[in-house]
């Protein structure tokens, strides 16, 4: 049944030409394609597994993370904002959420950083940092990134998140609450239509705040350059899904008496773990939507590793080397992965796979920029076209032993190799650049 539904969805979403469609139809079909990609990622199981892993890490690091944030916020005099933040996050748990929030605040208040010692402090920081590292690993998986941040960059970025992030978030919440409580605004809210507008804004603002938080995560955490528009799409989708899930969680799960009857005092812990799992899963789903928005070619319904055949990898390798060589000899801006993906019109997975092969074979080099750019490792006069061809054709294929069943088959294979050698004999990358028109 699932295969039939998937077949119908693929035919409806990718079977029509959108080049002559109206704006509304394009928007509608594009939205459905993004949702299809997110649902497909969930069904493959990796997002759910990573969300489960983050639940375990969250339970271990929740109190240390809040303790570090509390210590930083206390230095700025805004530590009292943690309480309303926890109340808001645990609101889907109903009345028990308030009790749980108070218990967490009590635990955090009992953590005395000054008596931990160097080993205890290091363990505390490691527990906190491990959460951010696991989130980055999950995001890198979604964005098809094999190379994580370097150690020093991780240290600097994570310290920025731990020190600056809480201050900015809770300061914004405190300033907003102070402004809304001023007498001038209270008198203004009593007048119409300002009162109605404030009521509507009160319903919309929570969606905007959580969407902004998700957007910031999608911009900052992945080890790649994420477009602002893509991060906004993913953040808005995750924000709406998170607020809606919170309402549904409260209405249909927390209000049920079955959990209390079965699990008794453990019911609140069980519901807390389920809510954390849903929150992490929503975060990863939003990241998936942001990725597909930035790289729509990866939404291909028949996506699989190695989808490019041998001739496709061959042509793509020559094309990538041509792009990089042209930018070198004509002093044009160097190429990034996103630029090559947009220029070739291929999914990012295919372009990244061939680039990785070319780097491993010593033809390209990746810089440490953000995002990284790709340069020739050797001069174009020393890079032979035969070398480019061999790098992608031999990668992962292994060697096939010559059999004695049919000598004619071996002779045909040798003739093909000889023809390729003859066609590429003496040809270099620089010669290709000179022979191609601009």
Please, which pLDDT band fits residue 188 given cuts at 50, 70 and 90?
Answer: low
Please, which pLDDT band fits residue 330 given cuts at 50, 70 and 90?
Answer: confident
Say whether pLDDT at 101 is over 90. Answer: no
Would you state the pLDDT for residue 306?
A: 43
- 176 and 47 within one domain: yes
- 111 and 230 within one domain: yes
Asked if the structure places residue 14 within a domain, the reply is: no
Would you state the pLDDT for residue 234?
A: 94
Given 299, 319, 335, the domain boundary residue is: 299
- 253 and 363 within one domain: no
- 319 and 191 within one domain: no
Asked if the structure places residue 10 within a domain, the reply is: no
- 322 and 251 within one domain: no
Write 241-249 long-range contacts (CB < 8 A, 24+): 241/282, 241/285, 241/286, 242/210, 242/214, 242/279, 242/282, 243/206, 243/207, 243/210, 245/92, 245/278, 245/282, 246/91, 246/92, 247/92, 249/92, 249/93, 249/274, 249/275, 249/278
Say whether pLDDT at 290 is over 70. Answer: yes
Is the pLDDT higher at 259 or at 365? 365
Say whether pLDDT at 298 is over 90. Answer: no
Q: What are phi and psi of 374, to 5 degrees?
A: -120, 135
Asked if the structure places residue 16 within a domain, the reply is: no
Say whether pLDDT at 50 is over 50. Answer: yes
- Greatest distance between any 2 Cα atoms in the chain: 95
Given 299, 323, 352, the domain boundary residue is: 299
Given 299, 324, 353, the domain boundary residue is: 299
Asked if the structure places residue 9 within a domain, the reply is: no
Would you state the pLDDT for residue 131?
A: 77
Number of domains in the chain: 2
Give the mean pLDDT of 238-245: 88
Strands (E), 182-333: none
Please, which pLDDT band fits residue 92 given cuts at 50, 70 and 90?
Answer: confident
Q: How far is CA 74 from the centre of its chain?
A: 32
**pLDDT, tens digit, 9 for 90 and up, residues 6-28:** 777 777 777 766 666 778 878 88
Say whether pLDDT at 208 is over 50. Answer: yes
Asked if the structure places residue 3 within a domain, the reply is: no
- 294 and 384 within one domain: no
Would you state the pLDDT for residue 305?
A: 45
Query: ∠ at Cα 216 (212, 219), nearest 5°?
Result: 135
Would you state the pLDDT for residue 390?
A: 86
The boundaries of the domain holding residue 377 are 310-398+408-435
Would you state the pLDDT for residue 213?
A: 83
Q: What percent of the chain has pLDDT over 90?
A: 12
Give the mean pLDDT of 388-404: 65
Asked if the structure places residue 128 within a domain, the reply is: yes
Would you state the pLDDT for residue 301?
A: 67
Q: What is the CATH number of the domain that holds 336?
A: 1.10.10.10
Say whether pLDDT at 382 is over 80. Answer: yes
- 207 and 147 within one domain: yes
What is 46-74 written as a DSSP string?
A: HHHHHHHHHHHHHHHHHHHHHHHHHHHHH
- 53 and 200 within one domain: yes
Tell the burial category of 238 from Cβ atoms under 10 Å away from its Cβ (0-12, 13-18, 19+): buried
Asked if the structure places residue 72 within a domain, the reply is: yes
Kindly tell me the number of DSSP H helices and DSSP E strands found in the chain. Answer: 18, 3
Is the pLDDT higher at 131 or at 397? 131
- 288 and 332 within one domain: no
| Distance (Å) of CA 180 to CA 77, 83, 185, 201, 377 | 20, 18, 6, 12, 59
- 337 and 256 within one domain: no
Give the mean pLDDT of 108-123: 63
Asked if the structure places residue 119 within a domain, the reply is: yes
Say whether pLDDT at 190 is over 80. Answer: no
- 184 and 53 within one domain: yes
- 321 and 293 within one domain: no
Please answer whether residues 226 and 218 qualify as being in contact, where contact means their C-beta atoms are separated by less than 8 angstroms.
Answer: yes
Is the pLDDT higher at 150 or at 179? 150
- Indicate the average pLDDT of the chain: 77
């Amino acid at each position: 049944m699932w295969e039939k539904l998937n077949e119908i969805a693929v035919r409806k979403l990718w079977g029509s030409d959108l080049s002559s469609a109206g704006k509304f139809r394009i928007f509608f079909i594009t939205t459905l394609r993004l949702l299809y990609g997110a649902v497909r990622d969930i069904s493959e199981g990796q997002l759910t597994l990573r969300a489960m892993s983050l639940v375990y890490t969250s339970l271990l690091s929740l109190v240390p993370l809040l303790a570090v944030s509390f210590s930083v916020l206390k230095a700025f005099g805004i530590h009292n904002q943690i309480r309303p933040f926890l109340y808001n996050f645990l609101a889907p748990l109903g009345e028990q959420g308030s009790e749980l929030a108070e218990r967490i605040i009590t635990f955090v208040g009992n953590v005395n950083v000054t008596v931990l010692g160097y080993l205890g402090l290091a363990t505390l920081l490691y527990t906190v940092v491990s959460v951010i590292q696991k989130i980055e690993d999950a995001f890198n998986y979604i964005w098809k990134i094999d190379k994580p941040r370097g150690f020093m960059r991780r240290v600097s970025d994570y310290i920025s998140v731990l020190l600056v992030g809480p201050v900015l978030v809770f300061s914004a919440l405190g300033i907003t609450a102070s402004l809304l409580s001023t007498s001038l605004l209270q008198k203004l809210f009593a007048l119409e239509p300002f009162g109605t507008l404030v009521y509507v804004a009160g319903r919309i603002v929570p969606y905007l705040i959580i969407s902004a938080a998700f957007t910031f995560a999608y911009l900052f955490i992945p080890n790649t350059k994420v477009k602002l528009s893509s991060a906004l799409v993913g953040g808005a989708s995750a924000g709406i899904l998170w607020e809606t899930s919170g309402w549904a969680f409260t209405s249909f799960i927390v209000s049920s008496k079955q959990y209390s009857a079965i699990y008794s005092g453990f019911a609140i812990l069980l519901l807390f773990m389920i809510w954390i799992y849903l929150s992490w899963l929503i975060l990863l789903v939003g990241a998936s939507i942001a990725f597909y928005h930035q790289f729509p070619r990866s939404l291909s319904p028949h996506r699989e590793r190695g989808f490019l055949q041998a001739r496709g990898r061959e042509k793509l390798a020559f094309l990538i080397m041509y792009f990089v060589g042209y930018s070198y000899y004509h002093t044009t801006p160097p190429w990034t992965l996103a630029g090559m993906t947009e220029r070739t019109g291929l999914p990012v997975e295919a372009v990244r796979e061939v680039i990785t092969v070319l780097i491993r074979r010593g033809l390209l080099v990746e810089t440490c920029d953000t995002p990284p750019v790709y340069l020739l490792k050797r001069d174009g006069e020393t890079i032979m076209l035969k070398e480019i061809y061999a790098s992608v054709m031999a990668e992962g294929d292994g060697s096939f032993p010559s059999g004695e069943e049919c000598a004619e088959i071996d002779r045909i294979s040798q003739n093909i190799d000889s023809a390729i050698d003859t066609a590429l004999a003496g040809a270099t990358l620089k010669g290709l650049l000179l022979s191609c028109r601009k």
